[in-house]
Structure 1
Amino acid sequence: MKAISLWQPWASAMALGWKRNETRHRRTSYRGPLLIHAAKKVVGWPSMDIQELFWEDDIAFQPSDLPLGAIVCKVDLVGCEEIFIHTRPKGIERILGDYTPGRFMWITENPISFGPIPFRGSQGFFNVPESAININIAPENPKLLNEKKTRQLKLWN
């Protein structure tokens, strides 16, 4: 399955369903299942608004409290659109990406959060073997992203 790495806190924001678009400098023609990998690099809280999201829901005090070097969720990549001033999203989604005109938003749906699965990431798309992922998935409660409690879920068609 294809995967991409995101820095924290962006990866967890996608796993929690807060972030639906990934913004990139290039478009993609790929559509289908996509694993989201939390890179080992932490960028810190990019804004007080994002910091408050994680604090209010008691998920993380610092970005380093979030999973690093692990696959954290699966999404469906359903579209890719160039960003223009009039097409930028509003609300929370807008602060969770770089919506500079000329960039591209990769539109995702159906996030499924995992208990973090340690895996070495890479830049750009990379492949993850089925054997690494067809394991336990995190419970419905996003506060349990770092806990060992899991339930089975089949990810492969």
Structure 2
Amino acid sequence: MRCLTIRQPWATLIALGEKSFETRSWRTAYRGEIAIHAGLKIDKAVCLREPFQSVLARHGFTADNLPAGAIIATGSLINCYEVTAGMAEEGWPYGSEYIFGDYREGRFAWELTGVTPLEDNIPAKGRLGFWEHPVPQRER
């Protein structure tokens, strides 16, 4: 399965369904199943800011107990939008989604759906870009 490494706390926010768009500096034509890998780096300062802190706390997480170095969820990548100046004027993205991403003009918002946390995280070493891992079918 294709995997994408995402720093914490953003990976967990996606796994919990609190974040539906992953923002990147690059466009992707890929559409399909994807595994979310929580990277080893945890931005602890971000975890202490609102709304990050309260959203994570609502699910029992703090900067000290976020998973790292593991595949934590699977879902589908269904679209990739280029961020333009007009999008912000139209009120997109909305709410905490805007705070949880980097929506500067010229970046890309990858839309994720059907994200489901794994019952048991799968330890794995992350990589840049997409990478492959044999995530077992029944783990999803």
- Cα drift, residue 26 of structure 1: 0.7
| 1:79-118 mapped onto 2 (5 Å cutoff) | 79-87=79-87, 88-114=92-118, 115-118=120-123
The separation in 2 between residues aligned to 1:89 and 1:58, in whole angstroms, is 23
- Cα drift, residue 90 of structure 1: 1.0
- Equivalent pair of 1:117/1:133 in contact (CA under 8 Å): no
With 83-92 and 9-18 compared, the bigger mean Cα shift is at 83-92
Amino acid at match of 1:60: F
* Equivalence for 1:20: 20
Task: Give 3-state SS (helix, strand or coil) of 2:102's partner.
Answer: coil
Percent identity over paired residues: 35
Listed as ranges, the gaps of 5+ residues in structure 1 are 137-154
The separation in 1 between residues aligned to 2:54 and 2:86, in whole angstroms, is 27
- Equivalent pair of 1:76/1:110 in contact (CA under 8 Å): yes
- Cα drift, residue 54 of structure 1: 1.1
| 1:1-157 mapped onto 2 (5 Å cutoff) | 1-46=1-46, 47-55=49-57, 57-62=58-63, 64-87=64-87, 88-114=92-118, 115-129=120-134, 132-136=135-139, 155=140
- Cα drift, residue 134 of structure 1: 3.2
The separation in 1 between residues aligned to 2:31 and 2:124, in whole angstroms, is 23
TM-score norm. by structure 1 comes to 0.79
Task: Give 3-state SS (helix, strand or coil) of 1:27's partner.
Answer: coil
The Cα RMSD (Å) is 1.4
Task: Give 3-state SS (helix, strand or coil) of 1:97's partner.
Answer: coil
1:113-140 CA-to-partner distances (Å, cap 9, x unmatched) read 11311111111100012xx43354xxxx
In structure 2, the CA distance between the partners of 1:24 and 1:58, relative to structure 1 (3 Å rule), is closer
Could you list the structure 1 runs, at least 4 aligned residues long, displaced by more than 6 angstroms after superposition: none
With 6-15 and 36-45 compared, the bigger mean Cα shift is at 36-45
Listed as ranges, the gaps of 5+ residues in structure 2 are none
